[in-house]
C-alpha cells in the first residue's frame, strides 16, 4: 500500500513539476520578447502569434495534467506497452522520429532559435519534452529495454547528440578565425609540414605539439579549403571521446549488449564534460586497448612509446601512460599477502614503467625543445606563470569555477568508487586501494595547480588525467573487473540515488552548456579578405616583410597571396611570452618593431586600456598582453584600418615612435 502511495505521490509530483517548468519557461520566453531590445514585439506579428500559441499550449498542458492526475502510472506504462509492439514499418517510423529529435534538438539550441533557449526554464522544458518522447521511442525501437533503461538511453542519446551537433556547427567555410586560437591550430599544424610542402622551416608549436601533429593530415592531402581543416579538427573532438569509450567497454567485456551500449554512451557524455584534448584521449585509448597483464613485455613497450608521445604533449602527461598502466595492473592483479617482500615483487613492474616512461618522456620533451626553433625561454612558461587561485572558484573567466565544475562532473563517480571500495574493503589487501587513491589524489591536485596558472582554469581540460583515471577505476568497479585478494570479481550495482547522480548530473551539465552559435557574415568576410589583399599588395611593394601576428592560416591556405610568411611572433607564442614575462623574446620583438622591419602588421584588434579581471573573461591574460605586447605595437606602429569582421586590425609604421 505504501509503495502504491509513493508511486502516486511521485507521479503527481512529476506532473506538478512539469507544469511548473512549462509556466516558468513561458514566463521567461514572454519576458524576453517584451524586454530585450533585439525583439520588436509590437511590430512583429510572428512574436505576437508565438505569445498566443504559448498561452494556448499552457491551457492544453493544464488540461492534460488534470486528465492524468488520477491515472495509475504503472497502468499507463502497461497501456503504452500494449500498443508498442510494432510491425517493421512502425519500428522504422519510431526510429526515424527518434533520429529527428536527436537532430532537431541541437539545431534548436545552437541555431537561430537558440537565443530563446539561453534561459534556464525554456531549455529545461525542451530537455524534458525531448527526453520523455525519446524514452517511448527507444522503448519502441528496442523492446528488450525496460522503461528505466529506455529513459537512461534517451537522456544519454540526447546529450550525445547535442555534443555532436555542437561540433557539427563548427564546420564551415568562414575565412577568418571563429574563436581566438582556432586558426592558430591550423597554422601551427602547417609548420610541421611546411618543409615538405613549401620548402620552408618554421618554428614548431611550443606546447601540445602532438595535438598539432595530429592536425597536419589535411595539409598532407593538399587541402586548402578551411572547412576541411575544421572538419578534421571537429572530427577529432568527437572521435577521440568515442574511441576511449569504446576501448574501455571492450576491455571490461560486459555480457549484456544493451548495458554495454548504455555504458559507452555514458562514458562519451562523461568525457565531453571536461573538454579533454583529443591527443591525450588517444594516448589513453591506445594504452587501455593494448595493455595485457599476461604480456608484460608488450605492455612495457607500449608504455615506453606512449610516454614519448606524452613528452610531446605536456609535461604533466609524461607519467600518465605508466600511471594508467599501473591503475589497470593494480585493479586486475591480486596481491596475496601483506609481506613486504611480496609487495616489492608486486609493485616492481609499475616502478619499471614509471622510471622508463619518465626517462623517455623527458628525453622526448628535451629533444623537441632543442629542435623546435622556438626561443628556449618560452619553455619556462609552465614554471614562471602566475597562479590565479580565484580561477578555482566561480569567476569572470569560468562561471562555475574549476572546483565546483569538477565536483559536478566527477563527484558522483568519485562517491560511487569510494563506496564500492568501502563495501569490499575486507576482500582487499590495503596497499592496492591506497596506491590507486594516491594516484587519483596526485592527479587531482596536479590538475588544480595547472588550472590555477594564468592562461588556464577556463574549463576542465587540465583535470583530464584525474577524470580519466577515476573513470577507469569506476567502470572496472561497476563491471566487477577488479580482482580481490581471493581472486573474486564482484560488480558494484549503483543504488537509485547513485544512478541519478552518475547519469543525470553529467547529462544536465552537458545539456546546459553552450548556446546559440555566433552568426557569421560570409559576404562581409569576403569583402574584408579582398580589402586585406589590396592593402598587402600596396604595402609590400617595397620588399619589406608583412607580419601576421594573427590569421596566419590565410597564407598557407592561399586565401591571401603575394606575401611571404614571417616565422616569428605568432600570437599564441606572444601571449605566453607576455603572461610568463619572457624578457628575451619580448626584447627581440621590440627590437624588430623599433627597426620598423615590417611594412604592415596584421593583428587582433588592439585594446586601449587594461580591463578589470573581476569583470572580464581572461582579464589577467588580456592585461599582460596589453602591457607587454600591445604597448610595443602602439609605440612603433599606428592603426591603418580595422576590418569590419574577424576582429582584425592593420598597423603601419609610425613616423615617430613613442621613445
Which of the two residues, 383 and 311, has the higher pLDDT score? 311
End-to-end CA distance of the chain: 87
Tell me what pLDDT residue 422 has: 81
Confidence of residue 279 (pLDDT cuts 50, 70, 90): very high
Query: Could you please report the per-residue DSSP string of 539-597?
Result: HSTTS-EEEESS-GGGTTTTSS-S-----S--HHHHHHHHHHT-HHHHHHHHHHHHTT-
Question: Which range has the worst mean pLDDT, 75-84, 155-164, 390-399, 559-568?
Answer: 75-84
Residue from 625, 601, 605, 599 nearest 613 by CA: 625
Confidence of residue 487 (pLDDT cuts 50, 70, 90): very low
Tell me what pLDDT residue 85 has: 60
Tell me what pLDDT residue 1 has: 36
Tell me what pLDDT residue 92 has: 84
- CA dist., res. 523 & res. 530, Å (int): 11
Residue from 101, 582, 628, 136 nearest 377 by CA: 582
If you average pLDDT over residues 398-424, what whole number do you get?
90
- CA dist., res. 648 & res. 599, Å (int): 16
pLDDT digits (tens, 9 = 90+) for 464-478: 999 999 999 999 988
Q: pLDDT above 90 covers what percent of the chain?
A: 58
Which of the two residues, 41 and 81, has the higher pLDDT score? 81
Tell me what pLDDT residue 147 has: 87
User: Is it the case that residue 2 has pLDDT exceeding 50?
Assistant: no
User: Is it the case that residue 382 has pLDDT exceeding 50?
Assistant: yes
Which of the two residues, 583 and 316, has the higher pLDDT score? 316
Confidence of residue 157 (pLDDT cuts 50, 70, 90): very high
Question: Which range has the worst mean pLDDT, 345-359, 417-431, 544-558?
Answer: 417-431
Tell me what pLDDT residue 503 has: 85
Tell me what pLDDT residue 69 has: 82
Which of the two residues, 43 and 78, has the higher pLDDT score? 78
Alpha helices in 36-111 (DSSP H): 45-68, 73-83, 88-110
User: Is it the case that residue 489 has pLDDT exceeding 60?
Assistant: no
- CA dist., res. 26 & res. 122, Å (int): 7
Tell me what pLDDT residue 541 has: 67
Instruction: Indicate left, alpha or beta for 551 from its phi (over 0: left) and psi (-120 to 50: alpha).
Output: left
User: Is it the case that residue 502 has pLDDT exceeding 80?
Assistant: yes
Give the CA angle between residues 197, 199, 201 to the nearest 5°.
105
β-sheet bridge partners, residue 648: 604
Confidence of residue 336 (pLDDT cuts 50, 70, 90): confident
- CA dist., res. 600 & res. 602, Å (int): 7
pLDDT digits (tens, 9 = 90+) for 589-641: 999 999 999 999 999 999 877 778 877 888 899 999 999 999 999 999 999 99
Average pLDDT, the chain: 88
User: Is it the case that residue 60 has pLDDT exceeding 70?
Assistant: yes
- CA dist., res. 550 & res. 570, Å (int): 7
- CA dist., res. 471 & res. 406, Å (int): 13
If you average pLDDT over residues 508-532, what whole number do you get?
90
Is residue 137 classed exposed, middle or buried when 0-12, 13-18 and 19+ CB atoms within 10 A define those classes? buried
Crossing angle for the helix pair 464-479 and 257-272, nearest 10 degrees? 160
User: Is it the case that residue 495 has pLDDT exceeding 90?
Assistant: no
Return phi, psi of residue 654, to 5°: -80, 155
Amino acid at each position: 500500500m505504501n509503495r502504491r502511495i509513493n508511486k502516486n505521490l511521485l507521479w503527481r509530483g512529476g506532473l506538478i513539476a512539469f507544469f511548473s517548468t512549462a509556466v516558468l519557461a513561458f514566463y521567461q520566453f514572454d519576458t524576453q520578447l517584451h524586454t530585450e531590445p533585439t525583439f520588436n514585439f509590437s511590430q512583429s506579428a510572428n512574436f505576437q502569434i508565438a505569445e498566443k500559441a504559448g498561452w494556448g499550449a499552457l491551457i492544453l498542458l493544464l488540461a492534460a495534467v488534470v486528465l492524468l492526475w488520477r491515472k495509475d502510472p504503472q497502468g499507463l506504462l502497461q497501456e503504452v506497452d500494449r500498443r508498442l509492439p510494432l510491425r517493421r514499418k512502425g519500428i522504422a517510423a519510431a526510429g526515424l522520429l527518434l533520429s529527428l529529435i536527436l537532430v532537431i534538438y541541437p539545431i534548436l539550441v545552437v541555431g537561430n532559435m537558440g537565443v530563446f533557449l539561453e534561459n534556464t526554464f525554456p531549455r529545461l522544458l525542451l530537455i524534458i519534452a525531448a527526453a520523455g518522447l525519446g524514452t517511448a521511442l527507444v522503448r519502441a525501437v528496442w523492446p528488450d529495454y525496460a522503461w528505466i533503461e529506455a529513459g537512461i538511453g534517451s537522456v544519454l542519446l540526447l546529450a550525445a547528440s547535442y555534443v555532436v551537433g555542437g561540433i557539427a556547427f563548427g564546420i564551415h567555410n568562414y575565412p577568418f578565425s571563429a574563436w581566438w586560437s582556432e586558426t592558430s591550430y591550423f597554422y601551427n599544424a602547417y609548420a610541421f609540414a611546411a618543409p615538405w610542402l613549401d620548402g620552408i622551416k618554421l618554428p614548431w608549436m611550443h606546447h601540445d605539439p602532438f595535438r598539432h601533429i595530429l592536425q597536419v593530415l589535411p595539409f598532407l592531402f593538399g587541402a586548402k579549403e578551411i572547412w576541411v581543416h575544421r572538419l578534421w579538427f571537429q572530427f577529432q573532438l568527437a572521435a577521440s571521446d568515442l574511441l576511449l569509450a569504446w576501448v574501455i567497454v571492450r576491455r571490461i567485456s560486459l555480457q549484456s549488449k544493451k548495458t554495454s551500449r548504455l555504458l559507452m554512451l555514458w562514458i562519451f557524455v562523461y568525457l565531453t564534460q571536461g573538454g579533454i584534448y583529443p591527443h591525450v584521449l588517444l594516448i589513453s585509448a591506445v594504452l587501455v586497448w593494448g595493455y595485457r597483464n599476461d604480456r608484460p613485455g608488450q605492455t612495457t613497450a607500449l608504455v615506453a612509446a606512449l610516454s614519448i608521445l606524452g613528452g610531446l604533449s605536456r609535461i604533466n602527461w609524461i607519467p600518465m601512460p605508466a600511471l594508467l598502466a599501473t591503475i589497470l595492473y593494480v585493479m586486475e592483479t591480486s596481491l596475496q599477502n601483506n609481506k613486504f617482500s611480496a609487495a616489492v615483487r608486486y609493485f616492481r613492474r609499475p616502478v619499471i614503467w614509471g622510471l622508463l616512461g619518465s626517462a623517455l618522456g623527458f628525453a622526448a620533451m628535451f629533444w623537441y625543445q632543442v629542435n623546435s626553433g622556438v626561443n628556449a625561454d618560452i619553455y619556462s612558461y609552465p614554471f614562471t606563470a602566475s597562479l590565479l587561485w580565484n580561477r578555482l572558484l566561480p569567476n569572470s573567466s569560468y562561471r562555475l569555477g574549476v572546483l565546483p565544475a569538477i565536483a559536478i562532473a566527477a563527484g558522483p563517480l568519485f562517491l560511487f568508487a569510494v563506496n564500492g571500495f568501502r563495501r569490499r574493503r575486507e576482500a582487499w589487501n590495503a596497499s592496492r586501494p591506497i596506491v590507486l587513491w594516491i594516484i587519483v589524489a596526485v592527479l587531482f591536485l596536479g590538475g588544480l595547480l595547472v588550472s590555477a596558472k594564468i592562461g588556464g582554469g577556463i574549463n576542465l581540460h587540465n583535470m583530464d588525467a584525474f577524470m580519466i583515471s577515476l573513470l577507469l577505476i569506476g567502470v572496472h568497479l561497476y563491471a566487477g573487473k577488479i580482482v580481490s585478494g581471493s581472486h573474486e570479481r564482484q560488480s558494484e550495482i549503483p543504488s537509485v540515488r547513485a544512478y541519478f547522480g552518475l547519469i543525470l548530473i553529467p547529462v544536465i551539465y552537458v545539456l546546459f552548456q553552450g548556446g546559440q552559435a555566433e552568426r557569421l557574415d560570409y559576404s562581409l568576410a569576403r569583402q574584408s579578405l579582398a580589402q586585406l589583399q589590396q592593402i598587402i599588395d600596396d604595402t609590400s611593394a617595397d620588399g619589406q616583410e608583412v607580419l601576421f601576428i594573427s590569421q596566419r592560416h590565410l597564407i598557407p591556405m592561399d586565401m591571401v597571396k603575394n606575401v611571404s610568411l614571417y616565422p616569428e611572433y605568432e600570437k599564441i607564442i606572444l601571449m605566453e611570452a607576455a603572461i610568463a614575462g619572457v624578457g628575451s623574446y619580448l626584447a627581440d620583438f621590440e627590437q624588430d618593431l623599433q627597426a620598423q622591419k615590417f611594412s604592415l602588421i596584421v593583428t587582433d584588434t588592439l585594446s586601449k586600456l587594461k580591463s578589470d579581471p573581476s569583470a572580464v573573461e581572461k582579464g589577467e591574460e588580456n592585461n599582460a598582453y596589453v602591457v607587454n605586447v600591445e604597448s610595443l605595437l602602439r609605440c612603433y606602429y599606428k592603426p591603418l584600418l580595422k576590418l569590419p569582421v574577424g576582429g582584425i586590425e592593420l598597423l603601419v609604421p609610425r613616423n615617430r615612435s613613442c621613445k
